[in-house]
Structures are given as structure tokens and as C-alpha cells.
Amino acid sequence: MVNLCGCGEIAKCRTSWTQLNPVRRFIGCPNFMDPTRNCNYFIWVDGPLPNRWYQATMYQIHVNLVNAQDQIAQANNQNSRTAFYNRVLIVLIVGMLLVRLM
């Protein structure tokens, strides 16, 4: 089923990760945040979360996941930088050995 909003765009199903409505799906206009379009097409797909504990727990799990993904990205950057410096070091050492052998 395709949902068209007031401005004729295809409103897609996305998931809210706000503190009040974590892991709650909604269908919304892609221009929802654009004040010049003034389209407020928005429908919840899922009902409200059953209680505050569930809400807080799902939000915290999401925050932990985002933080873990950031840490993995930082570690990957660090690893690729270290690998680059290791290669430079190997080239320098091999170069110095070759100069000594000549």
C-alpha cells in the first residue's frame, strides 16, 4: 500500500527513536521537518508503548547501540591509521637495509 501525503510525496514507514516513543513505527511525509512545505502528514503504525519501564529500556538499548557503533567506527579509524603507519615503517626499514647492503 502506498501512502501519499498532502504534498503528493510517498510517505514512508519509519521507526521513531525519541525518548518518548522509542521503537515505535510511523508513516510520515518526507517533508515533515520542512516548515516551507507545511505538510503534517503523520500516522502512528504501532500503538503507544505499554509502560514507562519498557519505554525507558528500549530507549536505553538504542542509545547503547548507537554509542557502541560510534566506538566501533572510531576503533576502525584507529586501526586503519595504525596499519598505514606500520606500512610506512616497514618501507623505511627495508629502504634503510637496502641502502646498507649497497
Q: Which three cell numbers stand for residue 67?
A: 554509542
Q: Which three cell numbers stand for residue 32?
A: 515533515
The answer to whether residue 29 forms part of the interface with Zn ion (CB under 5 A) is yes
CB of 41 to Zn ion, least distance (A): 5
The answer to whether residue 49 forms part of the interface with Zn ion (CB under 5 A) is no
Q: Using CB under 5 A, which of 24, 39, 49, 55 touches Zn ion?
A: 39
Asked whether 43 and 26 are in contact (CB, 8 A), the reply is yes
The answer to whether residue 28 forms part of the interface with Zn ion (CB under 5 A) is no
Asked whether 12 and 27 are in contact (CB, 8 A), the reply is yes
The answer to whether residue 5 forms part of the interface with Zn ion (CB under 5 A) is yes
In what helix (H) or strand (E) does residue 14 lie, and over which residues does it extend?
Answer: strand 10-17
CA torsion, ordered 67, 68, 73, 75, to nearest 10 deg:
120
Stretch that binds Zn ion, among 28-36, 45-53, 70-78, 80-88 (CB under 5 A): 28-36
Q: Which is nearer to Zn ion, 4 or 94 (CB)?
A: 4
Residue numbers of the site for Zn ion (CB under 5 A)? 5, 7, 9, 29, 31, 39, 41
